[in-house]
Amino acid sequence: MDILSSSTSPLFVLLQLVLLITSDILSAEGKTANGKIPAIYVIGDSIVDSGNNNDLITLVKCNFPPYGKDFKGHKPTGRFCNGKIGTDYIASGLGVKELLPAYLDPNVQIQDLITGVSFASGGSGFDDFTPQFLRAIPLGQQVEFLKECFGKVERAAGRERADYIKSNGFFFVVAGSNDLVNNYFALPTRRAQMPLDQYLHTLVQKASNIVQKLYKIGGRRIYVLGLPPLGCVPIQRTLRGGAARKCVEEVNQASIAFNAKLSTQLHSLALTLPNATVIYVEIFDILLDMIQNPSRYGFEESRYGCCGTGGLETAVLCNSVTSSTCRDASKYVFWDSFHPTERASSILASQLLHKYFP
C-alpha cells in the first residue's frame, strides 16, 4: 500500500502538519490573496496623485467636477481623471485592493497604510524647482511621508510585519513630465543654466537618489516609470504643434533621451543594491501607439481631451463652471489636456501588468 494513500500514515500526518504550519506563517506575514504582494506605495506626480493635493494651496488640484464624473458615485476625489487612474488598476490587477488612496486623505485608515497608499502630488518632479513654483509636494517630502507611514504601520502591526511589507511590497516612482513640459520647456530658468542633455542627466541622477532613499527605508521591489510621449499631449499640440496640431518632436525626443538615460542608470544602480529589484518601466511606445492609432484600441479621439475645448483645460481650468465635457469620455485617450482617461489608464495598466507582472 502506498504510504501516502492512508490518512493515518505517519508521513501523511506529518505532511498535513507542515502544510498547516506553512499556511499559518503565510497568513501571519500578511500576504494577499495572490500570495505575493502585500502592498503598493507610489511616489510621483499628477498621473498617480489620488488626492494628496486636495488641501494644498495650489492651482494643480482637481477635487471638483467634472473630475471624477465616471468615478463611483460620480465623486471628484482629487484624481486627475474622469474615474480611476493607472495605479488603481495596477493595485487591483495585482490583487492588493480596488483603489489606491492618497496618504493625506483624512479618511485613510491604518489598514489602508498597511496595504499601500499614494504619496504623489500633482505638479511634482525630480527637480526641486518644479514643485516649488507649482506649489506641489516635492519627492523628497513624499519619501519622508513614506517613512512616517511605515512608522505608523510598525506601531500598529509590529516591526516584523512592517519589514515584511517593505521587502515584498511594490514601490513605484512616476515623475519627470512636469520637469520637462512645465519647467524646462516652459520657463527660462533651467534653460539658461544648462543645455537639455545636462538637464536630463541631472534629472536621472535625482531619480537614482530617490530609488536609493527607498532602498534605505527598506524597499526592495522598486519600479520607475519612464516618460510618455509628452510632445503628443493635447496642451503641447495646442501651444507648440502649429495649426495642424502636430506632436512636438523636440519634446518627444527629450522624453526618449531621458528614458534611455534612466534605463541605463537604473540597470547600473540595481547592481549595487543587494537583494533589490529595480526595474525601468517603458510606457512611451504603448502610449504613442494609442495616440497614433486610437481606433486600434476603440478610441475615436487622441488629439484633444474630453474636458472643455480639449486643447488647454487641465486642473483648475477644467471645471464645471467654464468647461463642458464630451458626452462619452471612453472614446477619448485624454480626459483633459494632459491626463489620460480612465479607459486609457485601464488599457495602459493592463499592458504593463502583462509585460512586467505576468
By percentage, how much of the chain surpasses pLDDT 70? 90
- φ, ψ for residue 197 (rounded to 5)? -60, -40
| Cβ-based burial of 233 (10 A; exposed 0-12, middle 13-18, buried ≥19) | buried
| CATH class belonging to 32-356 | alpha beta
Handedness of CA 345, 351, 353, 356 (dihedral sign): negative
DSSP 294: G
Q: Where are the strands (E) in 187-327, listed by range?
A: 221-225, 277-281, 301-305
336 is known as an active-site residue: yes
88 is known as an active-site residue: no
Return the pLDDT at 35: 58
* pLDDT of 86 over the 50 cut: yes
DSSP 74: G
Instruction: Cell numbers for 193, please give them.
Output: 543654466
113-172 pLDDT tens trace: 999 999 999 999 999 999 999 999 999 999 999 999 999 999 999 999 999 999 999 999
Mean pLDDT of 59-69: 97
Residues with Cβ within 8 Å of residue 200, at least 6 apart in sequence: 254, 257, 258, 261
Handedness of CA 93, 96, 98, 103 (dihedral sign): negative
Q: Catalytic: which of 46, 124, 255, 345?
A: 46
Record the pTM.
0.89
197 is known as an active-site residue: no
Q: Using CA atoms, how far apart are residues 111 and 153, in angstroms rounded to an integer?
A: 9
Q: Catalytic: which of 336, 337, 345, 346?
A: 336
* pLDDT of 29 over the 60 cut: no
Q: Catalytic: which of 70, 124, 208, 339?
A: 339
